[in-house]
Structure 1
Amino acid sequence: MKSQVWDAGAALDSRESPRGWLVVLAAMIGVAVGLSPIPFYTIGMFAPELSREFGWSFASMMGSIAVQSAVVMVISPLAGFAVDRYGARPVALVSLFLFGLCFMSLSLNQGSLVLFYGQWVVMSVLGIGTLSATWTRVVNGWFDRNRGLAFGIASTGTGLTGFLIKPFAAWMIAEFGWRTAFVAIGALPIVIGLPVIFALFRENRQLAAESDVMTEDAAAQPLAEHGMTLQEALRSARFWIMAAAFFLIAFALTAPTPNLENILKTFRFDLADIGRIAASFGLAVIAGRVIGGWLLDRFWAPGCAFVILLLPALGNWLFAGDSLSGGAALVAVFCVGFGAGFEFDLLAFLISRYFGQRNYGVIYGCFYTVIACGGGLGPVVYGYAFDRTGTYAVALLCGIGCILIGGLLLLLMGPYPRWQDR
């Protein structure tokens, strides 16, 4: 059992090395070609082609994202258990390969919407090992002082995919057709992800083994992993405080994202302006991840989170107004995007500090379920509010309340625990 009596920070600092940044690079690429960004950022490109070919409605095709969220919400804890039990690298390699094959299989559909949903279910199950828990667990083992920055850089992979995959998909569809585009995009996890993960993605080992004091056998042993078991975490008040906070935060930060273009449309921006303003969202996500991660290394994370979450609250407040200039719209989009980018860095950092590395994967999976639930509910509630009232103002004001309450809840987490083997 692990007791909270010793500050591991000083000991862990010694394991930070340039080799860890290669692991961060590998994690960033793994994130970029994984289940989280590729389907989300490409379904909008394929939807017009599938609608033209099979007569499917856009609403039914967007339902595939809801299917993915539902599957992820259910099996994330199991994926975390697999990472803890078998190691992140083997899980990542197998899952990347199978995810790529599943995405390619979408090219074989002959018009069955039920089969299409079934393909998304299988893809979500087999690709679950490419989600954040896998990558952050290994990065967590390499860093202590710069852990937040490392998390931030690794998670920029989703922003890079969001920036690059749409033009690539558009070019492939225009030149070779949608079926070939599915195959080409599905090949990315296999052709790019697998070699990089195989070569660079490693659990941390005792770097002191390079000295004359350490034996070769000792060098092969992984660092001791301090922290709670899942059962201990579930009995902790901090677990449920974090769960409530992240449900509210995920609800409020995810909801505006798929509704962003329509929010801007309510202020009578034309299509060209909407595209220009919305494009800043991806850059804001990257900024939120890197800058937010850097700040987490230097300040108490819950306090840092409360201050940073004031930015998306400001963005929601600007969107909830009666009028919006072009400059104010850019500020609002940047604020919301910055908060959305910061969210997953914050989650990974808090889990590593408050619950430790011992059962990191399965604990992360539990929180990912909470985020998937809140994040899946938010866009639906915002869309329903718009359908009923013709405006997003009420929903956005509720979102501000959720952000502030979630940030205040995190302030109850207290100081970081200190771990030691008993």
Structure 2
Amino acid sequence: MMEKAQDLPDAGQASAQDADHGWQSAADEWRRNWRVGLAAFLVIGLSHGAYQSLSSLFVLPLQEAFGWSRGQIAFAHYSSLMVAFAAPFIGRAIDRFGPRRIMLGGMALSILIYLGLASMNGSLALFYLLSVLAGVIGLSASGLTCSRVVSQSFVRSRGVSLAIARSGLALASAALPTILFAIIARYGWRAGYMTEALLVLVVALPAAWFWIGRSRTPANVQHRHMDADLPTWLHLLRERRVWLLCLGAGLGYAPATAIMTQLQPLLISKGVEAGSAAALVGMAGIASFAGAIITGSLVDRFWAPGIAFLFACGSAIGTCLLAWHGAIEGPMAGLAILLIGFGLGAEIDVVAYMVARYFGIRSFSTIYGMAVFFIAFSGALGASMLGTAFDRHGNYDAALLVIAASFMAAGCVYLMLGRYPQHKD
């Protein structure tokens, strides 16, 4: 299952005899392009990804402020349906025009959306509209852009580089929940949304402005004519592996996203105190960071679908631990969150890596956008299912068992991708 990548005839990895040269090449990539990696790290962690990972902290304050039910609040995650339909087309635009200008414009609009959320007056329609806009515009500062930039700048160390960049979301998920919880508790939920806007304005946007698109990548890695010879939609839709990758991404990433959007109230329903629940949300971020780094290191050496399968099994076990205990103790809750977090981190890294390895860079954002379609569509259903399950049954247990089965199905689908094909990056 987990055969070494260099043993595959088309893996493109350095042979054992060239291992030292491979490490030197990876180090050279980082010396040239560390600014690109750092900018992607900050953009992914502090832009729309932060809104997704922190949204569960707003559930109870919005319920108290406006009298909305958890199901009504969770219904906002159906905005992911609009994100799903927009993702392939935004990805195509990124492949055609380049990620920099789309990224910068999108983040500027995201700041205005956060300020709009902070100004809500109790209208559910406005909340839903802003949620749709946040999701669609947020694609401009997501893996569609950042993973493409990293993948075209790093080749020898692509897995680790993607993991480092995309672990910005994991670290933000670890550091921000406790901070944001304290801000919301003291100053209110409006200050929470304004804090998110400030993070984009002061940190993420300047990093993208100064560092994205300004690397000293060699000419053979730069794709100056990104709109030339792009495969047609029909060609991509005929690719069996495109469908397998998209299906695996939807079945694997969406359950983790659904859990994160309801994690704090879920833990509170299991008997965990509110402050401790916020800390466990942070623990999930730490585990996600560790999972991303470990996975990134492994996929540069071993077959990526096999690695994805193992981490999917861990996520399924962690979800079952949450489902099979009425009231969960501290250590058991910590173990469940760690397993789920590891799986989330693995999923963050491995999907982007497999897009680049199986299909190359030329159509990276288009294919990744197709994967996001499956992720967002199933994520909307999963997040709403969790909130609705609580409203109907008073607990999340049945929905959690469905999520565990989804994790396992994702791992099995990845195994069907087969060997890496030959293509030029």
TM range (shorter): 0.7 to 0.9
Aligned to 1:407: 411
Distance of 2:53 and 2:106 partners within structure 1: 18
Structure 2 portions without partners, runs of 5+:
1-8, 15-20
| 278-287 vs 55-64, which moves further | 55-64
Give the percent of matched residue pairs that are identical in Structure 1 and Structure 2: 30
Aligned to 2:151: 140
Question: Match of 1:160, SS?
Answer: helix
- How far apart are residue 236 of structure 1 and its match? 1.1
Which residue identity does 1:284 align to in structure 2? A
Aligned to 1:103: 114
Alignment of 1:22 onto 2:35? yes
Q: How does 1:144-293 map to 2 (within 5 A)?
A: 144-169=155-180, 179=190, 182-202=193-213, 207=218, 230-261=233-264, 263-264=266-267, 268-271=271-274, 274-293=277-296
Contact 1:205 1:220 in 2 (8 A): no
Query: In the TM superposition, what whole-angstrom CA distance separates every residue of 1:40-98 from its partner, at most 9, and x where no partner exists?
Result: 5157348626853xx34153772474153222112111211221121111111111111
- How far apart are residue 180 of structure 1 and its match? 5.7
Aligned to 1:213: none
Distance of 1:400 and 1:106 partners within structure 2: 33
Report which of the two structures shows the higher radius of gyration computed on alpha carbons: 1
RMSD: 3.6
- How far apart are residue 312 of structure 1 and its match? 0.9
Distance of 1:259 and 1:184 partners within structure 2: 20
- How far apart are residue 106 of structure 1 and its match? 3.1
Alignment of 1:333 onto 2:337? yes
Contact 2:94 2:365 in 1 (8 A): yes
Query: In the TM superposition, what whole-angstrom CA distance separates every residue of 1:302-361 from its partner, at most 9, and x where no partner exists?
Result: 111112222112212323435754323221110011111211211101111111111111
Contact 1:227 1:356 in 2 (8 A): no
Contact 1:285 1:340 in 2 (8 A): yes
1:315 is aligned, of 315, 318, 326, to 318
Distance of 1:43 and 1:322 partners within structure 2: 21
TM-score, normalising length from structure 2?
0.82
Contact 1:285 1:339 in 2 (8 A): yes
Flag the 1:182–1:61 CA change in 2: closer, same or farther, 3 A: farther
- How far apart are residue 263 of structure 1 and its match? 5.0
| 168-177 vs 328-337, which moves further | 168-177
Which residue identity does 2:94 align to in structure 1? V
- How far apart are residue 134 of structure 1 and its match? 0.5
Contact 2:63 2:69 in 1 (8 A): no
Distance of 1:276 and 1:181 partners within structure 2: 17
Which residue identity does 2:57 align to in structure 1? G
Aligned to 2:77: 66
- How far apart are residue 26 of structure 1 and its match? 0.4
Alignment of 1:350 onto 2:363? no
Contact 1:51 1:57 in 2 (8 A): yes
Distance of 1:109 and 1:149 partners within structure 2: 41
Contact 1:229 1:359 in 2 (8 A): no
Distance of 2:122 and 2:169 partners within structure 1: 30
Which residue identity does 1:85 align to in structure 2? R
Contact 1:104 1:184 in 2 (8 A): no
Distance of 2:403 and 2:219 partners within structure 1: 49
Contact 1:247 1:374 in 2 (8 A): yes
Distance of 1:346 and 1:328 partners within structure 2: 27
Structure 1 portions without partners, runs of 5+:
210-217
Count how many residue pairs are aligned between Structure 1 and Structure 2.
Answer: 407
Aligned to 1:35: 48
Distance of 2:218 and 2:350 partners within structure 1: 27
Contact 1:35 1:124 in 2 (8 A): yes
Distance of 1:238 and 1:311 partners within structure 2: 24
Contact 1:285 1:337 in 2 (8 A): yes
Distance of 1:112 and 1:304 partners within structure 2: 45
